[in-house]
Structure 1
Amino acid sequence: MSDATPILHMLSPQKHMSPFDVNMAADAGYKVIVPYINVTLEEVTALTQDAIFSRPPDFGKRTGLFIGGKDAILALDMLEAAKKALVPPFELSTFADPAGSFTTAAAMVACVERVLRTKFNRGWKDTRIAVFGATGVVGFAASIITALEGAKVKLVAHRGVDRVIKSAAVSKERFGVDLEPAPGETAEQKAAIISDAEVIFAAAAAGVQVISAHDKALAKDLMVVADVNAVPPAGVEGMDLFMDGAPLPGCNALGVGPLAIGDIKYKTESGLFKQMINSDKAVHFDFRDAFAFARTLTT
């Protein structure tokens, strides 16, 4: 491994780079961290090539590029643009984790997978999943991860089904998965979705409750509910922050709470940063790679 100084260039299409991600990168071992804000997709190629051509080829393995923001598709497009800008042997490592949501989604799926395996002797194949907050980055990534594992995934729409139809179309085009848009605006629609679900992902915005005590009582086949919301009120009524496969009050399902997920999320993001620093070649990470790593922490 090269003894070159580990340098991380952090790109955000927004006006701020997340302090969370900066801290994570520093604690993982990056010695020089430079944030770039208001970055457009068209600027990624030039920034990437400035980073690779300014160091000897052997230093590329110690040069990283992180992509933040809050837009999953834009982050993936920027990641692809950075990879296409590489000119071997001049390379660097890349990692997309907009709003920390790719690693959060990976952690949520891995935690629920562990509960399914240890408590129900089940995997993802043909498991019926309802995703609340499906248009957010966490819901988007979790939907694709589980669909790639063979699950049957519904994207629940709260304010018009058009947005989840678009998400399903993008997911099919990019990843070849079939996700089912499901209108959930009325009480009747929501009840039908919950009654059919075996797993629920509550990935709505912080402080928004999407599953009430009444909703839980409708769930006859529900095995596991996961909630990433640590801001009161809980996304799932009765969910404890630290719950990790414990019985969820008011139903027969087991709960996975936000701090149990957060522990694996933290270790996943940190672990991927460390892999970037310590790898003997350039590596490239998106939510699929994050899930592969999170799995190693939950088996």
Structure 2
Amino acid sequence: MKRILLHLDTDPQPSSFDAISAIDGGVEQLLSYGNVTPVNVVSLVQGAIFTRSPNDLQNTAIFIGGSDIDAAQTLLERVRETFFGPMRVSVMMDASGCNTTASAAVVCAGRHLKLSESSAAVFGGTGPVGRRVARILMSSGCRVKVVSRSLDRARAACAAIDSGSKLLQPVAMSSPEDLHTVAEGVDVVVAAGAAGVKFCSLKALQASSSVKVAIDLNAVPPLGIEGIESGDKAREVGRIVCYGALGVGGLKMRLHHHVIDQLFETNEQVFDAETTFAAAGNLR
């Protein structure tokens, strides 16, 4: 029986990147749909779960993508609501590579530090990727500063991630002069902002005596941390170990393929930020 993956994209044109990644992950038959919404997804899911017996449903899976991460998250929730009893298939949500990228970044940081004994600052922490980086770090026992230009937005992001966690701290950085305060006592800095947003320079981070790892997830110049190159992979610059977007990207792609393969082990799995990070444990 063939492994069939329903590729559900919230954008008008389904992502060719996601389609190729699925095939490279071992999918035998790929069915791609664009403009998928919480309304029209129901019939697509029902078509997936009613055409095979419950014993065979592990051979069908769903991938949710698109450029709008919040829309994809809403779609994931609607897909899960459509399942009932044994009539379900495994699902992976990775719109814009949000969960695999965030997981790979945290794995890279964990190669150099014990996260449960460390602290981090996530620049662009109010964005969808930044929130996931912060959430995974927090789940690993790391103390996390969620950094934004606006303190109110940083507070809202912390509340959205986990309103009761004492490991999250909202922080505002409205000018380069604020960097010293933000970086004080921080072991890891992750830049997860939008393309073209520069947060600081590597030289400025070196002025902090605590920063040991710096990760920039933006591959489009100007990079979020000036001085880090997109291809950096554990490059040591003084006492700071540096990773660029492409340096993290190799692990991100291996993780993506690994999770695609795992989708077909059972019909009950849901891969979001935490479960995707857990799947990365075998790739460290």
Q: Quick check: TM above 0.5? A: yes
1:294 equivalent in alignment to 2:280: yes
1:22 equivalent in alignment to 2:22: no
- Structure 2 residue aligned with 1:127: 118
One-letter amino acid matched to 2:245: P
| Residue of structure 2 aligned with 1:112, choices 97, 109, 113 | 109
- Structure 2 residue aligned with 1:120: none
- Structure 2 residue aligned with 1:36: 33
Q: How many residues align?
A: 284
1:145 equivalent in alignment to 2:131: no
- Structure 1 residue aligned with 2:254: 267
Q: Give the direction of change, closer, same or farther, for the CA distance of 1:147–1:60 in structure 2 (3 Å limit).
A: same
SS at match of 1:125: helix
SS at match of 1:11: strand
Q: Is the 8 A contact 1:147 1:177 kept in 2?
A: no
- Structure 2 residue aligned with 1:63: 60
- Structure 2 residue aligned with 1:218: 207
SS at match of 2:5: strand
One-letter amino acid matched to 1:138: V
Aligned residues with identical type, % of pairs: 32
Q: Give the direction of change, closer, same or farther, for the CA distance of 1:48–1:240 in structure 2 (3 Å limit).
A: same
- Structure 2 residue aligned with 1:170: 160
Q: Is the 8 A contact 1:171 1:178 kept in 2?
A: no
| Residue of structure 1 aligned with 2:217, choices 215, 220, 228 | 228
User: Once the 2 structures are TM-superposed, how far is the Cα of residue 280 of structure 1 from its aligned partner?
Assistant: 4.2
**Please, what is the CA RMSD of the aligned residues?**
2.2
User: Once the 2 structures are TM-superposed, how far is the Cα of residue 228 of structure 1 from its aligned partner?
Assistant: 1.5
1:102 equivalent in alignment to 2:92: no
| Structure-2 separation of matches of 1:257 and 1:226 | 6
| Structure-1 separation of matches of 2:99 and 2:144 | 18
Structure ranking higher in strand proportion: 2
Unaligned runs of at least 5 residues, structure 1? 117-122
| Structure-1 separation of matches of 2:247 and 2:280 | 13
User: Once the 2 structures are TM-superposed, how far is the Cα of residue 189 of structure 1 from its aligned partner?
Assistant: 2.3
Of 201-210 and 96-105, more deviation after overlay is shown by 201-210
| Residue of structure 1 aligned with 2:151, choices 132, 152, 161 | 161
Q: Is the 8 A contact 2:60 2:267 kept in 1?
A: no
SS at match of 1:67: strand
One-letter amino acid matched to 2:102: A
Q: Is the 8 A contact 2:142 2:167 kept in 1?
A: no
One-letter amino acid matched to 1:53: F
User: Once the 2 structures are TM-superposed, how far is the Cα of residue 71 of structure 1 from its aligned partner?
Assistant: 4.1
Unaligned runs of at least 5 residues, structure 2? none
TM-score normalised over the length of structure 1: 0.86
1:78 equivalent in alignment to 2:69: no
